[in-house]
């Protein structure tokens, strides 16, 4: 985390952690004495569970080992002074010259004697890049040979799973000899393991490691100590510590829940309240000081104005099952942006309990008598997420609060296909965890789109297909840092995509009502012609209506886009066959076309 050691202690306590490891460089850099740190932790109700690391302590010659003992003695005394019972020693990287278990064991035994004199014990860990000892199974063998009550092992999921070592042998270690446990997830990268470890670790549930299986082995071995996170990550080092701690704590809750569900035989684990993934999108809310430009667009598209909310400056527009709420309340100075999304869920009360237990910040909106009270949480990045009981019986109850609407027009779209949100790079992992842990969405795929303003990383979260064949789909786009720095959110807008039966008819209808869609470049259609053997009349129609096209082994995809208003545009998609993507190959073209119309707009 960012900040000083005391900053970190406050952040961890506020997030609900029981204890922390003390990382030596933090202590050395701290202006507070070790006694002050101990006292601050005590006041905050945090235990100090581990002092780490003591490096390069074994596999060395006698002369070097004399220096090791001198250094270790000072650190054991320091740990004891701080009330820390365990000191982590990691396998030798730099000074080892003796590749021999008996030597390492004898040296750990001598260190154990020194530690015991100070009333502390040592947890020996195999680093994935250790000179000789780089496998937890060998570290355990050495600890077994050392046969000293103050010497045990530390297990770190990164060092074990990054090397592809089978964690099943953890079950062969007596639980009481596992002195400490460090957890980290990580994306699967083909990178040297040291760089991977130092820069790219993630909290549980955010990477590719099977930590549920890993924890099964650790707990079945009989380990009863802390579940500690050791996550080196360049982003967390520079972002708000309090927020990182909350994020971390949520990841541990998710992991405990998943482990409890996977291993019902394990006692004492807490589960989160059950809740199924949302089955659909109930509504999307666009907020701005002035939403009139959006209203014009929706009317031209053929949406129905369902009138104005009876107590607030809020209007509702619908078409099919798509519901758009336009909110001008408390929006001074804001350009149109995606402010909230509502999910349809099977059991709204269960979702509320689950979100509360995960410590998700509540979004609170004033409601008046006889108004529907909707539960909502604030997702990372500030988007408010509501959840409402799914119902097959037409419009949900809350829509009755809108008055003086026009007569229902025939639907031009069926519903919401996906909601694409722009995330700052600092928040993408936290956002993924939020939607997966709280709502049961799954991180399905990741891609990158070359835009004229930089490479856009995109990750898709999705729910399971509903009975009606729909799914909740949330593509999350990460703006390139330079773009984010400019504060030009229009450069990477959010968008809401609607499912249509016939995009061509929709575009034609909109044109008749005066709305032109985003112009795709002519060269794009020449390329479609070269790539796909399309019927010439169909291709001409796509070209004329400026509709983008994609095809894969599963089916076809047609897409059209409106101009961007503020930070939002609308998309219309027609999925044919079992096509389940988003036309990723078209996104770069679309971003270039949007840049062009933005600049043309700025030049007017």
What residues contact residue 281 under an 8 Å CB cut-off, 6+ apart? 341, 342, 343, 344, 415, 416, 419, 472
How many residues bind a second copy, per CB under 8 A? 59
Q: Where in 167-196 is the site for a second copy (CB under 8 A)?
A: 189-192, 195
Cα–Cα distance for residue pair 502/571, rounded to 1 Å: 13
CB nearer to a second copy: pick between 265 and 535? 535
CA–CA distance from 49 to each of 39, 83, 204, 297, 549 (Å)? 14, 9, 20, 59, 57
Interaxial angle between packed helices 34-44 and 62-81, expressed in degrees from 0 to 180 and rounded to the nearest 10: 50
**According to the binding rule CB under 8 A, does residue 478 interact with a second copy?**
no
**According to the binding rule CB under 8 A, does residue 588 interact with a second copy?**
yes
CA–CA distance from 438 to each of 99, 369, 396 (Å)? 48, 29, 23
**According to the binding rule CB under 8 A, does residue 208 interact with a second copy?**
no
> Which of 261, 409, 519, 576 is the binder for a second copy (CB under 8 A)?
519
What residues contact residue 156 under an 8 Å CB cut-off, 6+ apart? 125, 181, 182, 183, 184, 230
Do residues 109 and 124 lie in contact, with contact meaning Cβ atoms separated by under 8 Å?
Answer: no
Q: Where in 484-513 is the site for a second copy (CB under 8 A)?
A: 484-485
**According to the binding rule CB under 8 A, does residue 238 interact with a second copy?**
yes
**According to the binding rule CB under 8 A, does residue 62 interact with a second copy?**
no
The interface region with a second copy, picked from 156-164, 320-328, 363-371, 589-597 by CB under 8 A, is 589-597
Cα–Cα distance for residue pair 101/431, rounded to 1 Å: 45
**According to the binding rule CB under 8 A, does residue 39 interact with a second copy?**
no
> Which of 61, 176, 501, 527 is the binder for a second copy (CB under 8 A)?
527
We find the least distance from the C-beta atom of residue 74 to a second copy, in angstroms, to be 4
Do residues 423 and 459 lie in contact, with contact meaning Cβ atoms separated by under 8 Å?
Answer: no
> Which of 78, 184, 374, 565 is the binder for a second copy (CB under 8 A)?
78
User: Which of left, alpha, beta for 577 (phi over 0: left; psi -120 to 50: alpha)?
Assistant: left
The interface region with a second copy, picked from 102-110, 270-278, 506-514, 591-599 by CB under 8 A, is 591-599
Helix (H) / strand (E) element for 470: namely none
**According to the binding rule CB under 8 A, does residue 454 interact with a second copy?**
yes
> Which of 524, 561, 569, 572 is the binder for a second copy (CB under 8 A)?
524
Do residues 554 and 541 lie in contact, with contact meaning Cβ atoms separated by under 8 Å?
Answer: no
Q: Where in 530-569 is the site for a second copy (CB under 8 A)?
A: 530-531, 533
Backbone angles phi, psi at 44, to 5 degrees: -80, -5
State both tokens at 248.
């971390």
**According to the binding rule CB under 8 A, does residue 308 interact with a second copy?**
no
> Which of 33, 208, 292, 502 is the binder for a second copy (CB under 8 A)?
33
**According to the binding rule CB under 8 A, does residue 455 interact with a second copy?**
yes
Strands 314-319 and 322-327: antiparallel
CB nearer to a second copy: pick between 453 and 580? 453
CB nearer to a second copy: pick between 394 and 487? 487
Cα–Cα distance for residue pair 258/205, rounded to 1 Å: 10
> Which of 313, 521, 577, 601 is the binder for a second copy (CB under 8 A)?
521
Give the per-residue contact string, 408-427, with a second copy (x = CB under 8 A; - = no): -----------------xx-
Do residues 54 and 78 lie in contact, with contact meaning Cβ atoms separated by under 8 Å?
Answer: no
Query: Which positions lie near a second copy, rule CB under 8 A?
Result: 2-4, 7, 24-25, 27-31, 33-34, 70-71, 74-75, 78, 189-192, 195, 199, 234-235, 237-239, 425-426, 450, 452-455, 480-485, 519, 521-524, 526-527, 529-531, 533, 588-589, 592-593, 595-596
């Amino acid at each position: 985390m960012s900040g000083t050691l005391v900053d970190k202690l406050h952040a961890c306590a506020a997030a609900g952690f029981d204890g922390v490891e003390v990382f030596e460089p933090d202590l050395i850099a701290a202006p507070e004495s070790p006694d002050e740190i101990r006292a601050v932790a005590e006041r905050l109700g945090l235990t100090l569970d581990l002092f780490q690391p003591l490096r390069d302590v074994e596999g060395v010659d006698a002369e070097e080992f004399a220096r090791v003992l001198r250094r270790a003695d000072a650190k054991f005394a320091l740990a004891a002074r701080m009330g820390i019972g365990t000191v982590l020693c990691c396998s030798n990287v730099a000074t080892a010259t003796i590749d021999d278990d008996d030597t390492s064991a004898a040296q750990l035994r001598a260190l154990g004697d020194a530690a015991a004199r100070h009333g502390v014990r040592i947890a020996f860990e195999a680093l994935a890049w250790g000179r000789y000892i780089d496998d937890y199974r060998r570290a355990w063998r050495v600890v077994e040979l050392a046969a000293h009550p103050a010497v045990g092992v530390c297990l770190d999921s990164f060092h074990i799973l990054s090397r592809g070592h089978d964690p099943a042998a953890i079950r062969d270690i007596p639980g009481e000899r596992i002195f400490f446990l460090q957890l980290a997830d990580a994306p699967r990268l083909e990178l040297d393991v040291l760089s991977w470890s130092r820069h790219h670790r993630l909290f549980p549930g955010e990477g590719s490691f099977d930590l549920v299986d890993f924890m099964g082995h650790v707990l079945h071995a009989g380990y009863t100590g802390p579940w500690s996170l050791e996550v080196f990550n360049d982003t967390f080092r520079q972002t708000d510590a309090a927020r990182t701690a909350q994020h971390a704590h949520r990841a541990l809750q998710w992991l405990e829940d998943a482990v409890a569900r996977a291993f019902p035989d394990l006692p004492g684990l807490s589960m989160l309240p059950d809740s199924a993934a949302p089955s659909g999108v109930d509504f999307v809310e666009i907020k701005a000081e002035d939403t009139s430009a959006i209203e014009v667009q929706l009317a031209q598209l053929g949406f129905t104005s369902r009138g104005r909310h009876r107590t607030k400056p809020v209007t509702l527009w619908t078409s099919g099952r798509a519901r758009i709420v336009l909110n001008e309340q408390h929006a001074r100075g804001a350009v149109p942006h995606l402010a909230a999304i509502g999910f349809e869920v099977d059991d709204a009360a269960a979702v509320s309990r689950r979100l509360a237990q995960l410590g998700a910040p509540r979004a609170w909106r004033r409601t008046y008598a006889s108004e529907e009270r909707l539960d909502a949480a604030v997702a990372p990045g500030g988007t408010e997420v509501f959840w409402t009981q799914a119902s097959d019986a037409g419009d949900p109850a809350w829509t009755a609060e809108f008055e003086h609407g026009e007569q229902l027009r025939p639907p031009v779209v069926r519903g919401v296909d996906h909601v694409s949100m722009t995330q700052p790079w600092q928040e993408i992992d936290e956002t993924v965890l939020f939607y997966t842990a709280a709502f049961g969405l799954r991180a399905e795929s990741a891609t990158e789109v070359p835009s004229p303003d930089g490479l856009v990383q995109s990750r898709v979260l999705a729910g399971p297909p509903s009975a009606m064949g729909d799914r909740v789909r949330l593509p999350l786009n990460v703006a390139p840092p330079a773009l984010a720095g400019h504060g030009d959110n229009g450069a990477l807008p959010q968008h809401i995509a609607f499912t249509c039966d016939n995009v061509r008819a929709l575009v034609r209808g909109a044109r008749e009502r005066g709305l032109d869609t985003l112009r795709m470049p002519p060269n794009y259609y020449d390329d479609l012609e070269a790539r796909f053997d399309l019927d010439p009349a169909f291709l001409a129609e796509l070209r004329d209506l400026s509709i983008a096209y994609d095809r894969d082994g599963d089916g076809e995809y047609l897409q059209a886009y409106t101009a961007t208003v503020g930070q939002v545009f609308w998309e219309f998609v027609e999925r044919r066959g079992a096509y389940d993507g988003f036309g990723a190959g078209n996104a770069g073209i679309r971003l270039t076309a949007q840049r062009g119309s933005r600049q043309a707009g700025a030049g007017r």
